[in-house]
Amino acid sequence: MRFPTLCAAMLMLAAARADAAPAAAPSRMLAASCSGCHGTHGQGGGAMPALAGLPADHLGALLRAFRDGARPSSVMHQLARGYTDEEIAALAAHFAGLPRPAHGAGVRP
């Protein structure tokens, strides 16, 4: 593919600035699709389980179980089917990196 110099320059500019960018913008935006229900920082509240601080392998397995129908739910089995394996891994890693909320709300076993 022909690649215009201008575009290449822009890409280099983006590369130069990537270091200064907050980490992991894409997973942040992905996770924000969860925060309308689970809280801005994944803290949960009321009947909504907290996601923040859950081990990544646990949350990843949970989301895949919702998606594959292995774990029943009211809505999560429908939503999880909209996300890819890579996105589920990114979401799990994102929430694992957030502090666990003090009130201890969590995904019920």
Partner 1 sequence: MIVHTKPGVARRRVLAGLGAAGLLAACAVPSGRTAPKVVVVGGGFGGATAARYLRLWSEGAIEVTLVEPNRRFVSCPLSNLVLGGSRTLDELTRGYEGLARHGVRVVHDHAVALDARRRALRLAGGAALPYDRLVVAPGIELMFDRIAGMSEAAADERVPHAWKAGPQTLLLRRQLEAMPDGGVVLIALPAAPYRCPPGPYERACQIAHFLKRHKPRGKVILLDANPQVISKAALFTRAWSEEFAGLVEHRPNAAVSAIDLPSMTVTLELGERVRGDVINLLPPMRAGAFARAAGLVNAGERWCGVDWRTLESTAVPGVHVLGDATAAAPGMPKSGHMANQHGKAVAAALVEQLLHQREPAPPVMNNTCYSFIDDRHAVHVSSVHRWVEAKKTLEPVAGAGGVSSLTREAWLQEGAYARGWAQAIWSDMLA
Applying CB under 8 A, the residues found at the interface with partner 1 are 1, 3-4, 6-7, 10-11, 13-15, 17-18, 20-22, 25-26, 28-30, 32-33, 35-40, 44-48, 74-75, 78-83, 87
Q: Amino acid letter at 47?
A: A
When the beta carbons of 53 and 67 are compared against partner 1, the nearer one is: 67
> How far apart are CB 82 and partner 1 at their closest, in Å?
2
Structure tokens at 105: 């709300």
Instruction: State the sign of the Cα–Cα–Cα–Cα dihedral 109, 103, 46, 99.
Output: negative
When the beta carbons of 11 and 107 are compared against partner 1, the nearer one is: 11
Q: What is the DSSP letter of 99?
A: P
What value, to the nearest 5°, has the Cα angle with vertex 51 and ends 50 and 57? Answer: 140
Structure tokens at 109: 């076993």
When the beta carbons of 48 and 98 are compared against partner 1, the nearer one is: 48
> How far apart are CB 80 and partner 1 at their closest, in Å?
8
When the beta carbons of 3 and 109 are compared against partner 1, the nearer one is: 3
Q: What is the DSSP letter of 71?
A: S
